[in-house]
Amino acid sequence: MYARSTESPILLIGAAHVVDLARPLRELLNERTLDGIAVELDAERADALLAPEGRRSRGGDGPLFVRLWSLLQRRLGAEIGGGVPGAEMKAAALVARERSLPLFLIDDPIRSTLVQLVRAMPFKERVLLLASAVVGLFLPARVVERAMDRYVDAPDDYTAELRQVSPTLARVLIDDRNEHMADRLAELRHRGYGRIAVVVGDAHLSGLRTALGRRGIPTESVPFRDLRAAKGPGPSSS
């Protein structure tokens, strides 16, 4: 169907940071012909994630709400997902290494993103973000899991709710990063890397697909719900 590598659609894969999707993700990646694998990481996070266990950062030097969210992710990863946060990104990186494929880090540097977020966020949104992180530490895992089930059924509704509650957070952490990741993927296409699998948080999937479409780049997508079902997901073209 596609005459050249750069005419092939980019494969977008939606992951969840607190659910270990390493096995179905590996199966999906290994059945594809690829020129490279891209992940929603920057160099700092990739180094921390791929470092030996004893060298991994616990996120203790960031803003308070970031440290709280990091703690919450580790807790939920253990109680719900059966793994550690970032397991899907690490799995993708390991597949790239095993197959001698280039691994592309396409996200913005986390520190500058957080600085921008804090500076742009109104006081009310800061308080809500901090409060939600604190409350999340004490919520029973079953409550969070039910919320995740509702997200799987209607991800766009959850994104719309986030935009209503915290528009600044949605813009800085989702919309702006989608545009920047799309730019980097477009540059990779220009350099001849056409068959790329891209692993991102599921909340980025729709927006990143739209951003790539504006740049004339075809995509396929495998949402989180398909990986979570642990079935042989069939990508939907767009």
Residue extents of the structural domains in the chain? 7-230
User: Which of 41-55, 80-94, 137-151, 192-206 has the lowest average pLDDT?
Assistant: 137-151
Is residue 39 helix, strand or coil? strand
The dihedral of CA 110, 112, 118, 120: what is its sign? Answer: negative
pLDDT at res. 99 = 97
Reported pTM: 0.79
Give how far the C-alpha of residue 29 lies from the chain's centroid of Cα atoms, to the nearest Å.
Answer: 16
Predicted local distance difference test score (pLDDT) of residue 185: 98
Helices (H), the chain: 22-30, 43-50, 64-79, 87-98, 110-120, 123-138, 141-153, 155-165, 167-170, 176-190, 205-214, 224-228
Question: Which amino acid is located at 162 in the chain?
Answer: L
Contact criterion met (CB below 8 Å) for 15 and 22: no
Amino acid at 99: R
Q: Higher confidence at residue 98 or residue 131? A: 98
N-terminal to C-terminal alpha carbon distance within the chain = 14
- Per-residue confidence band for 77, with pLDDT thresholds at 50, 70 and 90: very low
Q: What are phi and psi of 43, to 5 degrees?
A: -60, -40
